[in-house]
Chain A
């Protein structure tokens, strides 16, 4: 194969074959590059898109990023069915196979330790949202006047406004408490946990305010119980929404444990 080398993941050698129709970034089929008892999952990518300068420009293009991220994830997902992959950061590109081999050698110890740590484990994503209160706009401020059609004195208006501000604060505090408690419970049932930055609703397109965006590393054997625990939170807090995603490959736990 010619071109640069895009690396998706590092794994231990596995017996099963990859799906024959599996394609990666730019539609190229991923190959396995074995070196010193480790396997890099690699595909060829063209220099015109993946050399440093064009890549930097592409990363600011939402459509390109979407297609590339989904292709990367497609390969990781396929690997998950046959092994425990150690995913690499999006757009990790090498000049050639020998660059990939040098990287495997240089990081061999880290990779082995991390692969041991992740073996048989998956990642679950849990997000908590505070639903918008009735009459509240997505921007977070209450707008509609409760006494429409009736004259309101300045004092009443101010009183209503400060009452609404207090209610809002109260909802926030409860949401934070709920999220903290849920995170503590879930972290106690996970091998590791990681907090991501709460998502901007402009990006996620979902309603409500994201107050917790967490990832949990859980063994496959204990995953069913973990999912049940998340499901049981259903009746715990009115006005809150919990979203579960996964199982993911252990993207959020691929770094060395601090």
Chain B
């Protein structure tokens, strides 16, 4: 086994914390976005956008 200490913060680690951690404020004074289940929206969106970026090995059909 190897133990790796990363210096640069990986985006996935950051999103684990920023989308599933942190204090959630809800109520009239905030804009309503805080009520939204950010984790569900974003991870679905992210997975599809990451997959979109991976070029198909057989090239693009035009």
Q: Is the CB of A103 within 8 A of B25?
A: yes
Q: Is A213 an interface residue (CB 8 A)?
A: yes
Name the interface residues of A38-94: CB closer than 8 Å to any CB of B: 50-52, 55-56, 59-62, 65-66, 69-70, 72-73, 86-94
Q: Is the CB of A52 within 8 A of B15?
A: no
Given contacts A59-B38, A93-B30, A107-B25, contact A199 B16 (CB under 8 A): yes
User: Closest approach, in angstroms, between the C-beta of B16 and any C-beta of chain A?
Assistant: 5
Kindly count the residue-residue contacts between A and B in the assembled complex, taking CB atoms under 8 Å apart. Answer: 172
Q: Is the CB of B22 within 8 A of A89?
A: yes
Chain B residues closer than 8 Å to A87, beta-carbon distance: 17-18, 21-23
Of B4, B17, B32, B46, most A-chain CB atoms within 10 Å: B17
Q: Is A243 an interface residue (CB 8 A)?
A: yes
Q: Is B24 an interface residue (CB 8 A)?
A: yes
Q: Is A106 an interface residue (CB 8 A)?
A: yes
* Minimal Cβ-Cβ distance residue in B for A232: B3
Q: Is A193 an interface residue (CB 8 A)?
A: no
User: Closest approach, in angstroms, between the C-beta of B3 and any C-beta of chain A?
Assistant: 5
Q: Complex formed: what's the CA distance from A142 to B60 in Å?
A: 28
* A62, A73, A237, A244: the one within 8 Å of B18 (CB): A73
* Minimal Cβ-Cβ distance residue in A for B24: A89
Q: Is the CB of A236 within 8 A of B23?
A: no
Q: Is the CB of A62 within 8 A of B16?
A: no
Q: Is the CB of A200 within 8 A of B47?
A: yes
Chain B residues closer than 8 Å to A234, beta-carbon distance: 1-3
Q: Complex formed: what's the CA distance from A213 to B17 in Å?
A: 11
- The 8 A CB mask of A220-239 against B (1 = contact, 0 = none) is 00000000001101111111
Q: Complex formed: what's the CA distance from A251 to B17 in Å?
A: 6
Q: Is the CB of B25 within 8 A of A88?
A: yes
Q: Is B62 an interface residue (CB 8 A)?
A: no
Name the interface residues of B1-33: CB closer than 8 Å to any CB of A: 1-6, 9-25, 27, 29-33
Of B18, B20, B21, most A-chain CB atoms within 10 Å: B21
15 chain-A/chain-B pairs, Cβ below 8 angstroms: A52-B32, A65-B15, A87-B21, A87-B23, A88-B24, A92-B23, A92-B25, A94-B31, A103-B29, A106-B27, A114-B23, A200-B47, A215-B21, A242-B1, A245-B13
